[in-house]
Structures are given as structure tokens and as C-alpha cells.
Amino acid sequence: MELFSELKLGWLNGWIFLGLLCLIDGICFLVFPKAVVKRLFDRSGWSQKQVVFTVIGKVCALVCLFLLIFTPLKIGNAIFILGAGVAALGLIGLAIALFNYRNTPFGEPVTRGLYKISRHPQIVMASVVLLGACIAIGSWSAVIALTIARILSHFGILAEEEICLKQYGDSYQTYMQRVPRYFVFF
């Protein structure tokens, strides 16, 4: 792992993992009912502070994405194998979480499948994919940018939980007490 990797555009860069992430999301969004996709991206009810921190987090995420696009994979290196394995685990988990979300009846909180062990498995799994990609390119800079982005995205996650509490009431409160926000963490 290097703090600053050499940047160059190429076929065997970290963008491959971004492409796989977008492919999984894209296929799911195409086959899911429009109401489900709309619900995934609803940001109404967020406070200005939550929006600002989320936007700053997205800028850090763009730095991470830039590094992934322009940094060659460390193919043939153990770090690549580790990163590819982590990314694959995240892609599988993300697909499962998306289908768990899709299969929950409208008007009910999502509490099935991976949502039994995390209140936000889609975000966690997307982060795992990106972390695996950062490892596969061997870039500490990308890992740092991703970490800052995800820390700042926490404010958006809090906004989503506030909205769910208003929408689902006691059933969501009970769910929050039973299931951790980020798997076994916090």
C-alpha cells in the first residue's frame, strides 16, 4: 500500500470495481418497481446540517472515485487478491440487501434478511465494495478519502432514521433497539 500511487488511465484500474458496483445497482434499479427506486432516493425531511455534511462527504467520495478510476490495480500482488475478495463480498451483500429492500411491502420498515443484522446494509456493503477496490489499487489516499466520506455520510443515515421513526413509529423504535446501525459496530 502506498500513500500516493501513480495515476494513469488504463484498462486495469480500480474503475473495474466501480463498474461492477454500478452494474449491480443499475440492474436492480431497472428491474425494481419505480416506487421502490424512488423510495431509495427520497431525501425529503433532511435538515440543512444533514444535507451539508452529506454533500461534503460526497466531495470526499468523488476524490476516492477519482483515485479508483486513475490508479492501476496491483494485479499479481497479494493486496490485489485481498481487495478483490473484499469487493466481491461487498457486491454479493449489496445485491442481497437491495433485494431484501425490494421484497418488503410498501408502508413497512425493512427488517428482513441483512436488515436483521444491520439497519443500513446497503450503505455498509457499498462501503465494503469501495474499500476492497481501494485495497486492490493499494492506495492509502483512497482509503482515507473513503473513510472521511463515510464518516460524513453518517449524518444522512441519521436523517433516514429520523424519517423512519416518524413514518413507522414504535415498530421502528423497537427495531432500532434490537438491530445495530452498522452490523456489529455501534
- Does the pLDDT of residue 183 top 80, yes or no? no
Q: Quick one: which of 83, 85, 97 has its CA closest to 25? A: 97
Q: Which residue has the higher pLDDT, 34 or 177?
A: 177
pLDDT (0 to 100) of residue 67: 92
**CA contacts within 13 A on the Cβ side of 73:** 21
- Does the pLDDT of residue 97 top 80, yes or no? yes
Is the four-CA dihedral 121, 126, 129, 135 of positive or negative sign? negative
How many Cβ atoms sit within 10 Å of the Cβ of residue 113? Answer: 16
Q: How confident is the model at residue 72 (pLDDT cuts 50, 70, 90)?
A: very high
Q: Quick one: which of 78, 111, 9 has its CA closest to 103? A: 111
- Does the pLDDT of residue 105 top 90, yes or no? no
- Does the pLDDT of residue 152 top 90, yes or no? no
Q: Quick one: which of 121, 127, 129, 136 has its CA closest to 89? A: 129
The three grid cell numbers given for residue 74, joined into one nine-digit string: 496491483
Q: Where are the domains of the chain?
A: 46-178
φ, ψ at 169 (rounded to 5°): 60, -130
pLDDT (0 to 100) of residue 155: 84
Q: Which of 29-33, 78-82, 100-104, 179-183 has the lowest mean pLDDT?
A: 29-33
Q: Quick one: which of 127, 8, 118 has its CA closest to 57? A: 127
Amino acid in the structure at residue 16: I
Q: How confident is the model at residue 43 (pLDDT cuts 50, 70, 90)?
A: low
Residues 6+ apart with CB under 8 A from 53: 152, 154, 155, 156
Q: How confident is the model at residue 10 (pLDDT cuts 50, 70, 90)?
A: confident
Whole-angstrom distance, CA of residue 102 vs CA of residue 24: 14
Q: What string of DSSP letters covers 114-132? A: GGGT-S-HHHHHHHHHHHH
Work out the mean pLDDT of the chain and round it to a whole number: 86
> pTM of the full predicted structure?
0.84
Whole-angstrom distance, CA of residue 80 vs CA of residue 135: 7
Q: Which residue has the higher pLDDT, 85 or 160?
A: 85
The helices-and-strands tally (H runs, E runs) of the chain is: 7, 0
- Does the pLDDT of residue 77 top 60, yes or no? yes
